[in-house]
Amino acid sequence: MVVVTGASDGIGYICAQQLAAMGAQIVLVGRDDGKCSDAVVALQNTTGNTNISFEIADLSLLHDVRALAQRLLDSHAHIDVLLNNAGGYFQQSSLTLEGLEHTFALNHMAYFLLTDLLLPSLAKAKQGRIINVASRAHRHASLNFEDLQGKADYDGWPAYCRSKLMNIMSTYALARRLEGTAITANSLHPGFVRSKFGHNNPGFTGLLVRASQLLLAISLQAGAKTSVYAASAPELVATSGLYFNKCKAAASSPASMDVAAQERLWQISTELAASIP
């Protein structure tokens, strides 16, 4: 069984489509009931796979992440693949109802907490896979542990880059903790993809994102390729703690390789998750 977050459209939808075409049972996770319902119908029609369902959750809220995880644990015997794909780029600063900076909450804490809560189900699979969709944008980032969420001087693009750096660092820390188990954890760069990513931003930022995608971006199908590879390739059955680009292991930034910083991020994330029930 495969759980794909952010799967009602974009890369997540294409990943779900390709994995469903391989015969996998799919659970889409999205925020909008109508979009998710339409996506399930479309996927069933295009793949012939009727074993597709959806769950609704606002992944920027840890309360919703916990509720989602519990529903998945209650309704499925095990999870084979968790594809953490949902994310966003928010040029303007905003806080969630739980007081977290929005980019940090959605792009990092949702990955971190959902993964942690679903580990018991992944452990029941013959071989569980955790895939965190990051970005090459992480190369532009470093972490300031005195203001990890970037609340003091928020800027949307650096915040996004930091969140993707956190994805990769957390994946490395998780892979160490999973050594000796049948669960693997890897991260990846999907490419600069022609999707609705960033279209939520008003004014010049939104226009710039759209124009850049038209001129430079790859297709959704190409953008989904590395995620699908990480989720399904038989040769990766024992591969863990790697960062992938174009379906090949690649080097992530020097900042991402700092083990002490990885462990500090892990500890802070653990404590923060515990503080928000």
Q: Which CATH number characterizes residue 57's domain?
A: 3.40.50.720
Q: Say if residue 116's pLDDT is above 80.
A: yes
* Strands 248-250 vs 243-245: parallel, antiparallel or unpaired: antiparallel
Token output for 216? 């430079």
Catalytic pick among 13, 111, 160, 229: 160
- pTM, two decimals, is 0.92
Confidence class for position 2, pLDDT limits 50, 70, 90: very high
Mean pLDDT across the stretch 139-144? 98
Spatial neighbors of 69 by CB under 8 A, at least 6 apart, are 113, 114, 117, 118
Catalytic residue check, 160: yes
Mean pLDDT across the stretch 59-77? 99
d(CA 162, CA 146): 14
Residue with tokens 């779900």: 16
Number of domains in the chain: 1
Mean pLDDT across the stretch 4-21? 97
pLDDT in tens, 200-221: 444 544 455 444 555 546 788 8
Domain that holds residue 218: 2-275
